[in-house]
Each structure stands twice: as structure tokens, then as C-alpha cells.
Amino acid sequence: MLSRLKHERMIGMVKIRSRISRGLLTAALAGAVCFQGHAQTITLPGYFVELVVGGLTFPTQHCFVGPGEILVGEKNSGIVKRIVNGAIVGNALDLAVANNSERGLLGIVAHPNVSTNGYVYIFYSKADVDGGTWIDNRVERFTYNGQTLAFDSLIFSIPFDASQQNGPYHDGGMLAFGPDGKLYVTSGDLNRGRFGNPRIEQNTGSSSSAGTGAIYRLNDDGSVPADNPFAWHGDPRVQKICVYGVRNSYGIAFDSITSSLWFTENGPDKFDEINLATLGMNSGWLKIMGPDDREATYAENNFTAYDAEDLIMLQGAVYRDPKFSYYHPNGITDLAFANSIKYDPTVRGNLFVGDVNSSWLYYFVMNQSRDEFVLSGALADKVADDLNERALTAVGSDWGMIVDIGMGPDGYLYTVSFSSGKIHRIRPALDETAPTTIMLVRGNFVSGSLPDVHFSDDLRYVGSRGITFSTQDPPLQIQFEANAVTATTNELQFHLEASVSSVNLQQTIELFNWSTGLYETVDVRSATVSDATVDVAVTANAARFIRAGDALMRAKVSYKAVGPVSVGQWQARIDRATWHVRVQ
């Protein structure tokens, strides 16, 4: 969101570009011209960055339409590139876009059921030809046939309005589907709603709508959900709003654990924000940026320190301070939660955020209730007041101008760099893989299912002892299978978290050796009546436990009595059974 370079300084080994605020993608486009590409760094121990694809021209948002298949929009050309297994294989669509300043092809998202209905949604600035006169900002629905996108219907529009400003800054454009199945659309204010032309969305008037400056919540056909917070309002533009008072936003994400909506907001010369939304939230623009008690003043609010009680509060609206702010705007963009088994429990569920000014990647640890960040010291006030405090939230540098972060179907976080034209993904050096099949070889099924063994979460797969015809056979035996991400590795680990219902039971772990065609015992110990974790690590010839070709892994966990048991029909409870395979 910065338009021209003011100064550069070094914090540690990271170069900071600090600029005067104007427009997010305007600054990104200007900065991309002089961006010097460097290798991305990440300081989270045990993680690395992997290039997925390069050769894109000012890419914005991306979406997956199948395993290894990505569609990504390019801002200025209006082209949607099709990427398959890391290679650009063609154009799925070419739209005519107004591309001056922050206009262009800005957002793309696949319908949750894209595999069956083929629906893909695109936010773009419509024109008759590329670079032509702006007609409107719109969301259209297209149908994907596996190679190209065909127009289906108009979903949403912010048209030219002769009575108001029409940009070209603050266009927003990010799209997302929520856990509720609704389509969420971000839009900046297009410079509308100043005090001389007051509007609801900018908290400057109570009777007229700007038609923009909000996050919109729509049914997948563009109609207004009956449970929208302002569905009662007489203006159909307001009926579509779920969050208003938004200056500009190019970041939206849903926490898959809580289903909560988080978004970023770009300030003028003060305060970029990370927000936790509620339906009906008033984010405060243009009167308030940053925490209310910081009394921020700037040109757009006539250098006046407004308070929350000065806002235009629609019936049912609520003001909320940001969960974190950067006093000096860093052009904060998209955000995403690392809610995947691929990420270690210490990282899993935490938030990654990008920007366009510093080329940094930011990281926030969530609290237990997932409604605040874990902050201390200089950041306990929820504000990074200077570059040194900003650095406390950074975990990587030289990322270019990140405009999109999202979780791929493979469980990794993907980032899009506007300036370098590349898509990367963040991977662990020890890649965790959950079983794809579970089979009770001996014994009786009691309860649970395959997903119950993926995480340490007190959801369990439970089996009880069965009948055997040999004292050598364990009366309870469970087999797991999974496919590793590689068949060549120098380290493999099998992790088991389990408990039993009686004392004097023995637990045995075996891994299948594909070289010999036999199971190999790797751990034998007494089972415990409370959850206990076993980590079996193999560093010598680890690849023998991974089948060449499909990288299949197989493990068996067995239980048998080795003394008097307290219950006849004893049980074993598996809370977690996963593999780690080293890929770097």
C-alpha cells in the first residue's frame, strides 16, 4: 500500500523498505519494477521454502481446482493461467480489464464443490479492452471444464457512480468461501464516503450507501443470505454487507478450527490491521484506524481523534479493535492458518501473514481460545510501533510482495508473490503423513474411525482382544497404511500415541520391509493405561520401509497379555498413528 520509496535500513540481516501510503497494488506494481529477487528465508526451525512455479506476470490470487492443478489470475492482463504439477500449461481465460493503479484481475476462488459443479468465481475490474475505461468492479461465476473457464453469471457488481469517487485506488478484490458455504468478497472504499459526500460504509453519514468499503457475504448465486446482519436494511447494497467501515482489504481467511473470519485492513499513513470479525462488525474507517484508544489522526479524518461512539452504527452492528496493528503501515496483505497435519503441533493452527512493503513473512501464535495472539514484551499492547517491533513478528525475508497465502489440498501453505511472479509453498523438513487406511487384522472393533488416529486430540480408534488359535498370535492387531511424499529418504519416524484398559499388556510395533517382503519389529514395550507416546526413528536404510513407485508405507501395532489382566475383554485405544519422512 505504499507508493514511493522513502528510505531503506537494515534490521539484523533484513532490508526494510518504508514508504508513504497510497494504494496497495499500486505500490506493489511500482515496486515490482525494481524488485531484486533473492532466496526466500524462513526462520521457523525445521521448515523450508519450495518453488512451485515461476514465470507469472503480476499474479494476484490463486485457487486449486484439483490435486496439483492451480488457476491463478494476472492483474494487468486479465489472464487466468492454468498450472498443472508445477508447470504453466496454458490460459484458462482472458478477460478485458481496466488495469490502471489497483484495478485489474484481483481475485479468484473455487467453489467448495468445484469437482462436481465446476464453479470458479473471479473478481475483476471490467473494461471493453485491456487498459480501457473502467466500467465496474464485479464478481462473475465461470464453469471450469478441465481446461478453460466459460462465463456462467454475474454475481456481484460495484458500478460507476457519477455522484461519488470511483477509485482507482482501494479496490480490494480477495474472494473466499466460508465454512458456512457463503461467498465472501472484500472491497476497499474506492475513495468514497469522505465528509463532503457522507456514506454509511465510511461512517460519515447514516442515510446513503457508498456501495463499497466492506466485506460482502453472498449465497453462491449472488443472492443475499437471509441471516446476513443487515438483511433488514432498505438498501440492497447494505443487505449484502457482513463487515463495513473497511478502508481497503487484501486479506481474508477462515480459521478451520473455530470457523471465525479474520481479515487484514490497510491504513493511510498510520495503522495496518489484523482483525477478527463478527457478522455485523464496524471496522471503524474512516474515523478510526488502529486501536480506538490510540486516537489516530490523519488527513481523511480531518486530523480528528474520533472514538467508537462517533461511528455510524447500524442496528446490530458492533465495533471491535484490531487484534494486532502496525503503526507504520507495511502494506499487509493476505493471511492463512497452518491448520494441517503437515505442520508440527507447535506451529499447527497458527497464523501466517504477508505484506508488499518489506517482503517479509509474519507469524502469530494463537491463544488457546483462538481469539487473540500470544504476545508479550513490546508487543503486549498489540501494536508494532516501529521497525524493531515489526521485526518481532517476522519469520522470513525476501519473499517479494506476497499478495496471497492459502492452504493447498496437500496440506501445505502456498504463497503468491506479485513482484517475482512465483508461487512457493512452506514445507517441513520432516514431513508428517497420516494413514489413509486402517484395518483390524485381529480382534474386535469397538469404536472410532480413520481420522481419529490423525491427531493427538483424545479422539480414538478402539479395538478389543479377539480369539486366537496360537499362543504366538497377538489377540489384537491393527494395521495402518500411508503414502509418503518421497520414496527416497535418510530418516523415517513412526509415531504412536495409545493406551490400554489393563495392566500386563505388551505393545509391539512392526514396519513392513519392502526389500524382504516381511514385517520388521522396531519397538516392543509394556503398554500403559494412560496415553503414552512412542517415537520410533529409523536412520539407517530408512527407504526399505517405503515402497518404490507409490511410496506406500505399512505398519502393524499388536497387543497381547504377558501376565494377569484386570479385565477379560481388554481394549487398546489408538489416539495417533502417523509417519514422519525427512525430505530435506
Query: Cell 472514538 belongs to which residue?
Result: 307
Query: Cell 528465508 belongs to which residue?
Result: 41
Nearest-angstrom CA–CA distance, 256 and 337: 8
The pLDDT assigned to 6 comes to 26
Task: Let me know: does 388 contact 377? Beta carbons within 8 Å.
Answer: no
**DSSP assignment of 378-414, as one string?**
GGTTSEE-SHHHHHTTEEE-----EEEEEE-TTS-EE
Nearest-angstrom CA–CA distance, 404 and 425: 11
The pLDDT assigned to 241 comes to 98
Compute CA distances 508 → 43, 150, 456, 515, whole Å: 38, 56, 20, 21
- The DSSP symbol for 35 reads P
Nearest-angstrom CA–CA distance, 338 and 352: 7
In degrees and rounded to multiples of 5, residue 175 shows phi and psi of -125, 150
The pLDDT assigned to 39 comes to 80
Length of the chain counted residue by residue: 584
The pLDDT assigned to 468 comes to 79
Q: Please give the model's pTM, rounded to 2 decimal places.
A: 0.93
The pLDDT assigned to 383 comes to 98
3-state secondary structure of 305: coil
C-alpha cell of residue 228: 446476513
The pLDDT assigned to 23 comes to 65
Nearest-angstrom CA–CA distance, 518 and 317: 65
In degrees and rounded to multiples of 5, residue 390 shows phi and psi of -60, -40
Domains in the chain (CATH in brackets) are 2-355+382-428 (2.120.10.30), 431-582 (2.60.120.200)
Nearest-angstrom CA–CA distance, 23 and 32: 14
Q: pLDDT digit of tens for each residue in the chain (584 aa)?
A: 322 222 222 222 233 233 334 566 665 655 554 444 568 899 999 999 999 999 999 999 999 999 999 999 999 999 999 999 999 999 999 999 999 999 999 999 999 999 999 999 999 999 999 999 999 999 999 999 999 999 999 999 999 999 999 999 999 999 999 999 999 999 999 999 999 999 999 999 999 999 999 999 999 999 999 999 999 999 999 999 999 999 999 999 999 999 999 999 999 999 999 999 999 999 999 999 999 999 999 999 999 999 999 999 999 999 999 999 999 999 999 999 999 999 999 999 999 999 999 999 999 999 999 999 999 999 999 999 999 999 999 999 999 999 999 999 999 999 999 999 999 999 999 999 999 999 999 999 999 999 999 999 989 999 999 987 777 789 999 999 999 999 999 999 999 999 999 999 999 999 999 999 999 999 999 999 999 999 999 999 999 999 999 999 999 999 999 999 988 899 999 999 999 999 99
